[in-house]
Amino acid sequence: MSTLHLMRTSAYQQNDLTQCLDLLQANDAIVLLDDGCYNLSHHLLTANISNPIYHINEHAIARAMLDQKKISQAITLAELPALFFTFDKVITWQ
């Protein structure tokens, strides 16, 4: 079983990312979208996460967020729907 986690909030503001990481299983992945892109610099993600992390490129650029630590793969919003089917389910954190 695998889950795609859609992370729409900033861990600098609220604790959704912490709770998400508590649930994270070996085959899961995280997508950062909207304000979730602020997590690109957050220590919860820049340390110790071996799962795939994606971020919506246009959402990060709009916020002037760079993936400086190269922790994430940039995708477009248009590429996201296909990802939904490569995991068994999707959980949204917002």
Q: Give the binding site for another protein (CB under 8 A).
A: 1, 3, 6, 8, 10, 12-13, 15-16, 19, 22-25, 33-35, 38, 41, 56, 58-59, 61-64, 68, 77-78, 80-82, 84-85, 88-94
Is the CB of residue 46 less than 8 Å from the CB of residue 69?
A: yes
Closest CB to another protein among residues 53, 59:
59
Is the CB of residue 39 less than 8 Å from the CB of residue 10?
A: yes
Taking CB within 5 to 8 Å according to partner kind, which of its own copies, another protein, none is near residue 51? none
Residues 14-53 that bind its own copies (CB under 8 A): 14-15
Taking CB under 8 A as the criterion, the residue among 5, 6, 13, 70 binding its own copies is 13
